[in-house]
Amino acid sequence: MAVLKTRNLTKHYGKIKALDGVDIQVNEGEVFGFIGPNGAGKSTTLRVLLGIIKATSGEAEIFGQDAWKDAVEIHKRIAYVPGDVNLWPNLTGGEVIDLFIKLRGGHTNGRKEEFIGKFDLDPTKKCRTYSKGNRQKVALVAAFSSDADLYILDEPTSGLDPLMERIFQECVMEVKREGKSVLLSSHILSEVERLCDRVGIIRQGQIIETGSLSEMRHLTRTVLLVETKQPMPELSQREGVHNVERLEDVYSFQVDSEKLDKVIAYVSGFGIKKIESAPPTLEDLFMRHYEGAGGER
């Protein structure tokens, strides 16, 4: 069942088409990754869904209600972390957390202190003194302390260090275990893929792919850097292997993710001395998309 849905959503700013027919759907109990480069239209989509801005045309629904007209009702059941968190400079972090929770109708799970501890936030400081990361922590603590049915998180980890990112991921997984739904935006696929049941890829205001990551696996390549004892003269002819480059005994190449086990088995026959892999990037996905569409690349 869908908790959130847009249909042919458009938003124009003068001549700029920030959104150009966006269709996304988040189902109950699901973590949906909303992925796209900067300027793709992620925040605009989320702001329309939150009723902060009005769409030019198209539909946006949450819990079956209209995102614009029924915003007040809808907001009682959602928690939102904006992309750039602006806080009241003269209030302390703790005061702002309480205020956020109150603004959401005061539905809390009583775990505020626990999340303040987990995110290692000093709630007694005035917000004006907080770094971007600390402002994000304030918004995250307020969101996860709210008893919401849907969490809308706009690039929530962009100012957090890797340790805090881990904590954030645990929080999302816990929310998911409780059967809640999450819409999580990011411009880095690898950052969110572990968390997401499905992802939608947006580029220049249009959704170019939607599906589970395994459904998209055929679109992704893993980058391998391998050093072998014996040379592999026929590596580039193996199925699923692309862009082979060789520097002495070290080979760098891309592998279609679905051929990864066969290629690794082949390579291991030459005696692996060292192997490194890098996850497929968003750019890889786009590149494959255009190849598939018969594009220039």
Ligand X SMILES: Nc1ncnc2c1ncn2[C@@H]1O[C@H](COP(=O)(O)OP(=O)(O)O)[C@@H](O)[C@H]1O
The amino acid present at 38, given as its one-letter code, is: N
Q: Which residue, 70, 68, 69, 58, is CA-closest to 23?
A: 58
- Binding track, positions 37-76, relative to ligand X; x by CB under 6 A: -xxxxxxx--------------------------------
Q: Which is nearer to ligand X, 102 or 132 (CB)?
A: 132
By the 8 A CB rule, do 180 and 29 touch? yes
By the 8 A CB rule, do 251 and 225 touch? yes
Candidate segments 36-44, 111-119, 212-220, 275-283, binder of ligand X by CB under 6 A: 36-44
**202-232 as b/e: b if 16+ CB within 10 A:** bbebbbbbbeebeebeebbbbbbebbbeeeb
CB of 285 to ligand X, least distance (A): 15
CB of 236 to ligand X, least distance (A): 37
Candidate segments 26-34, 80-88, 158-166, 176-184, binder of Mg ion by CB under 5 A: 80-88
Among 20, 24, 35, 36, indicate the residue that binds ligand X (CB under 6 A).
Answer: 36
Among 6, 43, 181, 222, indicate the residue that binds Mg ion (CB under 5 A).
Answer: 43
Backbone phi, psi, residue 64, to 5°: 75, 5
- CB contact set of 90 (below 8 Å; sequence gap of 6+): 126, 127, 128
Kindly report the length of the chain.
Answer: 297
By the 8 A CB rule, do 142 and 79 touch? yes
Among 3, 9, 18, 153, indicate the residue that binds ligand X (CB under 6 A).
Answer: 18
Among 21, 29, 37, 83, indicate the residue that binds Mg ion (CB under 5 A).
Answer: 83
- The answer to whether residue 37 forms part of the interface with Mg ion (CB under 5 A) is no
Q: Which is nearer to Mg ion, 83 or 123 (CB)?
A: 83
Helices (H) and strands (E) in the chain, counts: 10, 15
- The answer to whether residue 31 forms part of the interface with ligand X (CB under 6 A) is no
The residue at minimum Cβ distance from Mg ion is 43
CB of 270 to ligand X, least distance (A): 43
**12-39 as b/e: b if 16+ CB within 10 A:** eeeeebbbbebebbbeeebbbbbbbeee
Residue 157's binding partner out of ligand X, Mg ion, none, with CB under 5 to 8 Å set by partner kind:
none
CB of 201 to ligand X, least distance (A): 11
CB of 130 to Mg ion, least distance (A): 20
Q: Name residue 272's beta-bridge partners.
A: 228
Candidate segments 20-28, 83-91, 139-147, 240-248, binder of Mg ion by CB under 5 A: 83-91
List residues near Mg ion by CB under 5 A: 42-43, 83
List residues near ligand X by CB under 6 A: 13, 16, 18, 36, 38-44
